Amino acid sequence: MRATRNVVFVLTSLLCVLMLGAATGCRNVYYDAMQAVGVEKREMLVENTEELRDTLHLVKTEFGVAPNRLATIVQPDALAPDQQYEQAQILYDSCQERYDELNNSIGKTEEVANSLFEDWIEETSQQPTDSLRAASQRRLDETREAFRSMMRPVRSASDRVPPVLSALEQHVIHLKMNRNAQASETILAELDRSQTDLQALLDQAQVAIDATNTFIHSMSRQVHQMKTGQQE
């Protein structure tokens, strides 16, 4: 199945390039192609949320160890000033990349969720009886609220990254502009002062990870029920 999905993804990507269509149209082609091989939007949402959770783990890990890595880089006589700057820049770039990955994953997850909910609204309106429409609407409302409840801490975690990233960037700039032993000493003295923002980020990232796990469990149950025809 994974190989089939990869083939579909490649073919769809090529089709989108050839079509030179709008981004939304391209995404719809991808969704249609995935559904054609039996991958429903609920499954896509589970997979995207799993990717989002894993990205949150990476953000928490990368930023969590960044102060110690920077402290090691700027230890007196550990590296030449030019090397200290270069290594600090690499550390910053890696953290920035993780942040970009997080925002990209958030966008992809929200995108497939919104598409799923749009389809669900249409399907609900087509139910043949009032009772079936009410049941579908209730399940839609519950799922949409569960998704929103997950995304609130995720968004909050993302919002806590810039202050930490900015502090790291300032350290890199300081090393770039002052390539001497005094620059290292200044950074070592400043590192403890940025711990409050960092700890807030790490704590919120864990809250977001827990929220994604809860949502993944709930949506996986829906996928199982859909495939087996079970009813709650």
Inter-residue contact 157 to 205 (CB < 8 Å):
yes
- Determine, yes or no, domain membership for 70: yes
- What's the pLDDT at 128? 93
Distance of CA 109 to the CA centre of its chain: 8
Q: What percent of the chain has pLDDT over 90?
A: 66
- Determine, yes or no, domain membership for 32: no
Q: Which of 89, 75, 63 is nearest to 205 (CA)?
A: 63
- Determine, yes or no, domain membership for 90: yes
Largest Cα separation within the chain, whole Å, is 77
Instruction: Average the pLDDT over 128-155 and give the result.
Output: 96
Q: What is the pLDDT of residues 2-52, one digit of tens each?
A: 454 554 444 454 454 444 444 555 656 555 544 443 448 999 999 999 999
- Determine, yes or no, domain membership for 215: yes
Worst-scoring range by mean pLDDT, 18-22, 132-136, 179-183, 204-208?
18-22
Residues in the chain: 232
- Determine, yes or no, domain membership for 95: yes
The residue segments making up the domain with residue 215 are 38-228
Inter-residue contact 141 to 132 (CB < 8 Å):
no
Inter-residue contact 34 to 44 (CB < 8 Å):
yes
Distance CA 113, CA 117 (A): 6
- Structural domains counted in the chain: 1
Distance CA 77, CA 32 (A): 59
Instruction: Average the pLDDT over 146-158 and give the result.
Output: 98
99 DSSP assignment: H
- Determine, yes or no, domain membership for 3: no
- What's the pLDDT at 190? 86
Residue at 5: amino acid letter: R
- Determine, yes or no, domain membership for 60: yes
pLDDT at 216 exceeding the cut of 90:
yes
Worst-scoring range by mean pLDDT, 63-77, 153-167, 207-221?
63-77
Instruction: Average the pLDDT over 207-223 and give the result.
Output: 96
Structure tokens at 225: 């029920």
Q: What is the mean pLDDT of the chain?
A: 86
- Determine, yes or no, domain membership for 150: yes
